[in-house]
Structure 1
Amino acid sequence: MPTPDTPPTVPPLQRLANTAMAVCLAIMAVSVFVNVVLRYGFGSGVAASEELSRLLFVWMVFIGATAAYPTGEHMAFNSLLVAMRNKPRLLAATAVLVRLLVILGCSLLAWGAWQQVVVGMGSQSVVLGYSTALLPLPAFLCSVAIGLMALWELVRNQPLDLGHSVELE
């Protein structure tokens, strides 16, 4: 059991996601900074900077969304759930409903994102020449990952996390 002085252990996949987001952000920051300096200081810029930043931003957002789900860091409107705290059967039924809705939403997002991946396989970005399938791919991967996590929580009959007391909406 960790003491109050020891930091909590971070699971390896969470650490990998945090590192990937940090790398994306660092590359974006350097790329945009260099482009701004070149454009305003020397009258020329790096055309690839915008495409690279856009691609990395999309990946960073969806990696963050995937990493936030298991830790309960997504925005939660839990006022109704807190009111049901004394009604365990209703709260359990609501947990099932919420998980089913998450799985449905993830399924719809995955289906649409996969269609965009297939469309993007036939074309390339203008400047860098990467397959434009790389732009919707993180949405597909994120929706599959979150959908599987929600399904696992549903199978395990895991109760909803009502630990958002600090930011109760």
Structure 2
Amino acid sequence: MTPHARRRARGFVDEIEETLIATLLGLMTLLTFANVVLRYGFNATLIWSLEVTLVMFAWLVLLGISWGFKVRSHLGVDALTNMLPPRPRRVVALFAGALCIAYALLFLKGAWDYWAPFADLPKTTGRWFPTGIDWDARRYGFTETGDIPIPFDGLRNWLEQTFNSFVEDGEKQVDSYSKMPVLVPYIVLPLSALLLVFRMFQAVGRVWTGAEESLIVSHEAEDAVENAAALNEKA
């Protein structure tokens, strides 16, 4: 893949991530506003709105963690590392990055193991590190959310055929969903964990190649003080 193609692919992924986060925030605002209007203006309510808003908020937070690494907006304490010469500072940054990657990989394993049974997929064995595949783990593809409806029948049929079917006496049996299965909102867990691992490797890669000296690049407090000083000087 050429450098130009890689930049385009990276930009495409970035746009999807940012668009999804912006869409979630907008939908949360619209849904909450609509429910307030219905409740106080028409004495009605969208019974599923609270659960959908909570799900979207969880998606917003979990996807926002990896997005924060991408735009380098996470805060940190670098008072001690700034006292080190450039080379030791880089070594400390790489060590900290390795710890962050290890944590992200543990998070990915835990996220997959939690979500997989709801999607009728096998989870991994091992408490800390995956040591194999647990094909005998109990499946929970039948588990539904409390109030979230399935928006259209085509999606309902696909979900039922894929995740809520079983074979009995040599014939395939399909159970119906009355509400959205839990596997749909919970898919953000492995998705966000995978994005976090990807963004962690990107951050550590920037330090490894010498593009940056530290994983910490956001200094909001210092920037705020500088901006306030600049405004005072103009006044």
Structure 1-normalised TM-score?
Answer: 0.78
Mapping for residues 101-120 of structure 1, pairs under 5 Å: 101-120=99-118
Partner of 1:142: 192
SS at match of 1:74: coil
SS of residue paired to 1:41: helix
Q: Aligned partner of 1:74: which letter?
A: H
Q: SS at 1:79's partner residue?
A: coil
Q: Give the one of 128, 140, 144 matched to 1:124.
A: 144
Contact residue 62 and residue 138 of structure 1 kept, 8 A: yes
Q: Report what 1:94 is aligned to.
A: 92
Distance 1:150 1:89, change over 3 A: same
Name the residue aligned to 2:65.
Answer: 65
Q: Which has the larger radius of gyration?
A: 2
Residue 41 of structure 1 pairs with residue 41 of structure 2: yes
Partner of 2:174: none
> What is the CA–CA distance in structure 2 between the aligned matches of 1:164 and 1:126, rounded to whole Å?
40
Structure 1 unaligned regions, length at least 5: 1-9
CA contact (8 A) 1:116 1:133 kept: no
Q: Flag structure 2 segments of 5+ consecutive residues without an equivalent.
A: 1-9, 120-140, 149-178, 223-235
Change (3 A) 1:14 1:34: same
TM-score under structure 2 length normalisation: 0.58
**Aligned: 1:160 with 2:214:** yes
Q: 1:94-124 CA deviation, whole Å, 9 max, x = no partner?
A: 1221111111111121122112212433211
- In structure 2, the residue matched to 1:82 is 82
Q: 1:155 to 1:41 in 2, by over 3 A?
A: closer
Q: Which moved more, 1:12-21 or 1:109-118?
A: 12-21
- Tell me how far apart the structure 2 counterparts of residues 165 and 35 of structure 1 sit (CA, whole Å): 38
User: What is the aligned-residue identity percentage?
Assistant: 21
**CA, structure 1 residues 63+34, in 2 after alignment: closer, same or farther (shift >3 Å)?**
same
Kindly state the Cα deviation for residue 166 of structure 1 after the two structures are TM-superposed: 4.8
Is the CA contact 2:144–2:181 (under 8 Å) kept in the aligned structure 1?
Answer: yes
Q: Deviations over 1:45-75 (max 9, x none)?
A: 1011112111211112222222221221112
Larger % of helix: which?
1
Deviations 1:11-39 (A, max 9, x none): 44333322211211111111111111212
Number of the residue aligned with 1:3: none
Cα pair 1:117 1:136 within 8 Å, conserved: yes
Corresponding residue SS for 1:35: helix
Q: Distance in 2 between matches of 1:164 and 1:35?
A: 37
Q: How many residues align?
A: 157
